[in-house]
Structure 1
Amino acid sequence: MASSSSFSSSTPSWKYDVFLSFRGEETRNTFTDHLYDALKKKGIITFRDEEKLETGKSILSELFKAIEDSTIALVILSKNYASSTWCLDELGKIVDCMKEKGMTVLPVFYDVDPSDVRKQLKTFEKAFVAHEERFKENMEKVEMWKNALTEVANLKGWHLLNRPESKIIQNIVEDIWHKLSYAFSECNEGKVGIISRGEKLVSLLSIGSNDVRIIGLWGMGGIGKTTLARVVFRMVSEKFERSCFLSNVKEEYEKSGLVPLQHLLILKLLNESMNIHDVDEGVFIIKNRLRHKRILLILDDVNQLEQLDNLAGNHIWFGLGSRIIITTRDKHLLQLADDIYDVEGLDDGEALNLLSLKAFKTDHPPKDFLELSKDVVHYAKGLPLAIETLGSFLFNRGVDIWKSTLNRLKEFPESAILQKLKIGFLLINLS
């Protein structure tokens, strides 16, 4: 599978979670449509050709690019799949990406026997008789299609023959979610300390209990609140009926007010786009439409009580078993919280490890830089943003630059390092 424990954010290298390959005439408006809708509701970003292709561009090249940009290919093998050269070209590209890029390929045998696909029997045999006649001057292409079908049909997947579609779709979505969660966990490699902190936060959520719990994530800027919340969101969101990560609440509030935030929250948690005329109407919809739903809601970077009052004002707004996580720098805003996670900085060992990963691309500093690295860590005071920024700045730099950087750091009081250290701040003042 394509893949990418520091508190830095890390974006997966793919554009789509899933690429859907299917014979449109047979399944577009039935099984594939239901599957696509289920994936979308789960928040799994899925490519389906009718919605994603750009007008005026080569269809095949766009399809191939979408396949390359996907981490999972879901191939719905129906009776007449092989009669479409478009489908077979897609399949050939999918197999190439499986071999060359580690793409995960999952077949769905839709009212066909897997052995008929592997051996090209029945409708598949009929399709290839026609292809061999049509492409008699290019039999290599036909053989490539056959081999691709055989390879995909030998993979573990789902067989729908005489089985309830709704149950199979549920199983497919759950399996894909687990695979994507695993890929995300691989993205956490190199994020020092994130796993233990994530596990601690998950324990505070007490997901097994049927009450409604509000948990606060409190700490200074740059300490890693948002990244920790994102990691936990990916760890547990599958356990809820619906989930929403509402990022940059402070920034969005200052830019556009509360109504757009309410609209986005409702869209994600109800999968409905509603016209909200004012804040009071938004509150009414949230607390009346969500009080029977078991949801996970994360409100990231909250800085005013008004934001909480109108986005998650009370436990009774949400269904039993719901969990709300609030990240903030202001502990006084967490009066409603059932528990508060005080996000702490990295200890000396973790900080040294993170600095080394950024500055030397290794787990530990070289001997000649060990004492300098310890000094940098001392002045960063365990602040992940500071350590990452300094490490990136010092990457591939000589001892003289390290020493001059340390001298500049000593000019700042500890409060400035802890409270004002930003990427731009460092680059301007340390360059």
Structure 2
Amino acid sequence: MDSGKRKRESSLSPSSSSTRQPKYDVFLSFRGEDTRINFTDHLYVALNQKGIITFRDEEGLERGESIAPKLFKAIEESQFAIIILSKDYASSTWCLDELTKIIKCKDEMGLKVLPVFYNVSPSVVRKQTETFEQAFIDHQKRFEDNIKKVETWRDTLKKVADISGWDLHLQNRHESEIIQDIVKGIMEKLSSKSSSINENLIGINSMVAELIPSYVGFGNHIYMMGICGMGGLGKTTLASAIYYEYSDHFEGSSYIANVRERSEKGELHELQQQLLDEILGGSNTKIYNVQVGLRKIKSSGLRHKKVLLVLDDVNHKDQLENLAGKRDWFGSGSWIIITTRDEHVLVQHGVLKIYKPNGLDDDDALTLFCSKAFKKEQPAEGYMQLSQKVVEYASGLPLALVTLGSFLVGRTVEEWQSALDSFKNIKGDIHDILKISYDGLEEMWKEIFLDIACFFRGQEKDEVIRILENCGFDARIGVSVLVERSLLTVSRGCFVMHDLLAEMGHKIIRFESGGKLEMQSRLWLVEDLLHVLENDMATKAIQAIVVRFKENEFNYEAVPEVILSKMSNLRLMIIKKTDCYRYDRRYLDVPNDQRQILVPNQLRYLSWDRCPLKCLSSSSQPKELVRLDLYESRIEYLWEGVMVFRCLRD
């Protein structure tokens, strides 16, 4: 799921490493042959039009005898499961395995289950008569050596039949009306959850109450508004709160997060795709470049819809021009809300209504700080004066208050006083305030923080943890520590780190290297990596390289063959093509580079999209290598002779 769809995240809401972090709002379970192109498709479109993040399996998914692990994972990462029980649902062993997993997650993880009885009555499902009876006769013959599995399916269907849901069998109504009822029910359940979240966003509700009547309205005008201010001020949280509160007033809605970061990665066309998919419920064609996306947005039905669009963290006018170029792209009554640190971007785009949050007042700031430092709204006995001092240093910045509160929780008065003494050297630089929490980490947790700050923001939590574990880190406990310290959050199964915290990580690495690129422990920009390679500047200081490149951006031809071997402490190397989903067979027709890859002996993880070289050099002995991934590479063979990889895993 696109990291851009993280609509219900908040840097100010309480975080817990033990809390299940759903990635999807809804998981759809259905018999494809019965309902895929009618009821299920219409329901999927209606859910997406309301910004409800919904998982359904792909039509062309290759199915074997057992259910795909990715579907089990999607069930675990969902808040609700809608089960569309059709006449032939029970004939599919795939559906029955899927249903068994859903009920298990209901019992063990609190997954909410909502059945839809589509042209079949609950009693048929419960008693397994009619088509369900024949299905189980067939299953008993097929699984005569595993009757226990068949009995589990029977019991699972009985449980589902007893859950309150929607019975289309008895209702003399249009399907479209019932679908709207289902969508409305899901929205109400999600809204009640997000309302409880918003209650914990200290000071935000008063900002919303101030902002809405002054800057936007519910008339027929198209309202374009900017929320502008320095990092850490709560702009994203404020935009999220507005989105939660008002999205059900619109015909379509979309929350586009991390616009600046994703644009810099060359993913602006993907943001255009997200906008159209969420508001219009999907599109028939894939957007591969910004120009196509621009034409598609202009020619779509957006101008006939009243929409709520949030563009979070914009830093260039091109981003606005390609996502929300003109007011008349949208229907009457639409709201377009833009958050940015740069007021000039708003002025250039003709955004006249600009709201500038002032940060939290002293009372709200103290309450927010105490919620982190003491897990309650007031300081513990003997800590009031110390807490007021910390609040004073934080200058009303929510991010600083949360981070410092998480750092000081559980510490003695003496430790607080020592921390306050160190604050005296801080001259208003928020990076220095945030670094206090970083400095209190153990060395391994620091390394994990820096890897995530440089490489893995917005990436799937489980995949990143696997990579970090392959690098020798105790990643699960390390991530838990970072979440507890408010240096990292997890939303929709992906890592979320505030821009200022990531910038602090970059600043730490550059400071430690003395400003010398070749002495940096990590390289994350294509141009920096190429500069180091082409100028023979590789050193043992470089520990990790993760870069994402666009077509023709990463040219390895001028790089000396032995250069990688000079990075003797390199543990991680990922060179990934950002648009690798566009497979270009012409690449295979290019003559091979006949050189070999001299891999550093300490390397643990190597992933290189479209690697042009001939093979791994037998001169290398990377005995620590755990993962080798050469996607779309033109490797002729892995190596010459015999090479032992005792640690290599699938």
Cα offset, 1:61, TM superposition: 4.5
Check 1:396–1:429 CA distance in 2 against 1; reply closer, same or farther (3 A cut): closer
Aligned: 1:233 with 2:246? no
Q: Is the 8 A contact 1:5 1:195 kept in 2?
A: no
**Pair 1:315 & 2:353 matched:** no
1 CA distance for matches of 2:309 and 2:80? 27
1:55–1:155 Cα change, 3 Å:
closer
Instruction: Show the counterpart of 1:102.
Output: 110
- Which is worse superposed, 306-315 or 160-169? 306-315
Range 14-23 or range 30-39, more displaced: 30-39
The one-letter amino acid of 1:342's match is: K
Pair 1:28–1:107, CA change in 2 (3 A): same
What is the SS of the residue equivalent to 1:364?
Answer: coil
Is contact 1:405–1:430 with CA below 8 Å preserved after alignment? no
- Residue-by-residue CA offset, 1:43-77 (whole Å, 9 max, x unaligned): 43333234697999962544433322221111111
1:152 and 2:160 aligned: yes
1:324 aligns with 2:332: no
Which residue does 1:423 correspond to in 2? Answer: 434
Question: Which residue pairs with 1:221 in the alignment?
Answer: 231
- How has the CA–CA distance of structure 1 residues 422 and 158 changed in structure 2, closer, same or farther, with 3 Å as cutoff? farther
What's the CA shift string for 1:221-276, capped at 9, x where partnerless?
21100121122223323333333333333444555497776566556555444455
Structure 1 residues 110, 299: CA separation in 2 closer, same or farther (over 3 Å shift)? same
Structure-to-structure mapping, 1:86-235, within 5 angstroms: 86-131=94-139, 141-161=149-169, 162-188=172-198, 190-204=200-214, 206=216, 208-235=218-245
| Residue 135 (structure 1) shift | 5.9
Partner of 1:403: 417
Q: 1:387 aligns with which of 380, 401, 425?
A: 401
Q: CA deviation at 1:120?
A: 3.1
Change (3 A) 1:384 1:49: same
C-alpha contact (below 8 Å) 1:7/1:228 kept by paired residues: no
- Residues 332 and 77 of structure 1, relative CA distance in 2, 3 Å threshold: same
In 2, Cα distance between equivalents of 1:229 and 1:95: 36
Q: Deviations over 1:93-132 (max 9, x none)?
A: 2222222222111111110122322333333344445556
- Out of 356, 361, 366, the position equivalent to 1:352 is 366
Report the secondary structure of 2:304's partner residue. coil
Is the 8 Å Cα contact of residues 22 and 78 (structure 2) preserved in structure 1? yes
Structure 1 range deviating more: 44-53 or 294-303: 44-53
Give distance in 1, aligned partners of 2:103 and 2:185: 20
CA distance in 2, matches of 1:186, 1:199: 17
Larger RCO (CA within 8 A; separation ≥ 6): 1
CA distance in 1 between partners of 2:72 and 2:274 (Å): 32
For residue 169 of structure 1, report the CA deviation from its aligned partner: 2.3
Please state how far the C-alpha of 1:390 moved relative to its aligned partner: 0.8
Q: Does 1:13 align with 2:21?
A: yes
Is the aligned partner of 1:31 residue 2:43?
Answer: no
Moved more, 29-38 or 105-114: 29-38
The DSSP-based 3-state class of the residue aligned with 1:291 is helix
AA aligned to 2:227 is L
Q: Secondary structure at the match of 2:25?
A: strand
Which segment is superposed worse, 355-364 or 14-23?
Answer: 355-364
CA distance in 2, matches of 1:91, 1:164: 27
2:74 is paired with a residue of what secondary structure?
Answer: helix
Deviations, residues 250-304 of structure 1 (Å, cap 9, x unaligned):
44455549777656655655544445565xx866654554433322222222344
Alignment of 1:247-396 (within 5 A): 247-254=257-264, 256=266, 265=275, 269=279, 271-272=282-283, 273-274=286-287, 276=289, 278=291, 286-287=297-298, 289=300, 290-305=302-317, 307-309=319-321, 311-335=323-347, 336-337=350-351, 339-396=353-410
* Aligned AA (2:218): G
SS at match of 1:351: helix
| Separation (CA, whole Å) in 2 of partners of 1:197 and 1:314 | 27
Q: Is the 8 A contact 1:276 1:282 kept in 2?
A: yes
2:57 partner letter = D
For the residues of structure 1 that align with 2:395 and 2:206, how far apart are their CA atoms?
Answer: 20
Choose 227-236 or 34-43, whichever is displaced more: 34-43
- What SS does the aligned partner of 2:303 have? coil
Q: 1:135-193 CA distances to partner (integer Å, 9 max, x unpaired)?
A: 67766555543333233222222222353222222322332233233333344464323
Output the amino acid matched with 2:389.
D
Cα distance in 1, alignment partners of residues 120 and 76 from structure 2:
27
Give the letter aligned to residue 217 of structure 1.
Answer: I
> Contact (CA 8 Å) 1:190, 1:354: kept in 2 or not?
no
The answer for the alignment partner of 2:254 in structure 1 is: 244
One-letter amino acid matched to 2:73: K
- Aligned AA for 1:78? S
2:77 to 69, 82, 105: 69
Secondary structure of the corresponding residue to residue 214 of structure 1: strand
Report if aligned partners of 2:303, 2:331 keep a CA contact under 8 Å in 1.
yes
SS in 1 for 2:231: coil
Where 2:188 maps in the other structure, the secondary structure is helix
Q: SS in structure 1 opposite 2:387?
A: helix
Tell me, in whole angstroms, the C-alpha distance in 2 between the residues paired with 1:106 and 1:4: 25
- Label 1:33 to 1:251 Cα distance change in 2 as closer, same or farther (>3 A): closer
The amino acid across from 1:181 in the alignment is S
Q: Distance in 1 between matches of 2:188 and 2:56?
A: 21
State the TM-score, normalizing by the size of structure 1: 0.82
The verdict on how the C-alpha distance between 1:164 and 1:257 changes in structure 2, with shifts beyond 3 A counting, is: closer
Pairwise CA distance, 1:212: 0.7
Name the % identity: 52
Matches of 2:326 and 2:22, distance apart in 1: 38
TM, length-normalised to structure 2: 0.57
Aligned length: 424
**1:49 aligned counterpart, secondary structure:** coil
1:356 counterpart SS class: helix
SS at the partner of 1:238? helix
Distance 1:371 1:401, change over 3 A: same
Contact 2:67 2:98 in 1 (8 A): no
- Shift of residue 354, structure 1, vs aligned partner: 1.9
Q: Which one has a larger percent helix, Structure 1 or Structure 2?
A: 1
Structure 2, unaligned runs of 5 or more: 1-7, 443-650
Distance in 2 (CA, whole Å) between partners of 1:86 and 1:9 is 38
